[in-house]
């Protein structure tokens, strides 16, 4: 796998494959690093869900 899941990078750092990776990601993470990445991903999902709920609420008002 050439990229890290759900990591947003500036457009200027995106690689040719378009996934946003730089090709320099590590293959093995410590348990603590994996935990931190999963917690960050969980936070992103919560924010995404809040955004979806906000859109639903706006559509219901219309």
What is the reported pLDDT for 27?
A: 87
Please state the rounded mean pLDDT for residues 12-39: 77
Quote the mean pLDDT of the chain.
79
Cβ contacts of 21 within 8 Å, gap of 6 or more: 2, 3, 4, 9, 14, 15
- pLDDT at position 4: 53
Question: Can you tell me the mean pLDDT for 17-25?
Answer: 65
Q: Domain coordinates of the chain in residue numbers?
A: 11-61
Contact 24, 9 (CB under 8 A): no
Q: Would you put residue 9 in left (φ > 0), alpha (ψ -120 to 50) or beta?
A: beta
pLDDT tens-digit series, residues 29-57: 999 999 999 999 999 999 999 999 999 99
CB atoms within 10 A of CB 21: 18
pLDDT bin (cut points 50, 70, 90) of residue 24 is confident
């Amino acid at each position: 796998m050439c990229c890290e899941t759900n990591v947003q990078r500036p457009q200027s750092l995106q690689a040719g494959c378009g996934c946003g990776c730089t090709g320099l990601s590590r293959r093995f993470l410590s348990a603590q690093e994996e935990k931190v990445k999963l917690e960050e991903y969980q936070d992103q999902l919560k924010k995404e869900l809040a955004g979806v709920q906000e859109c639903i609420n706006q559509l219901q008002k219309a």
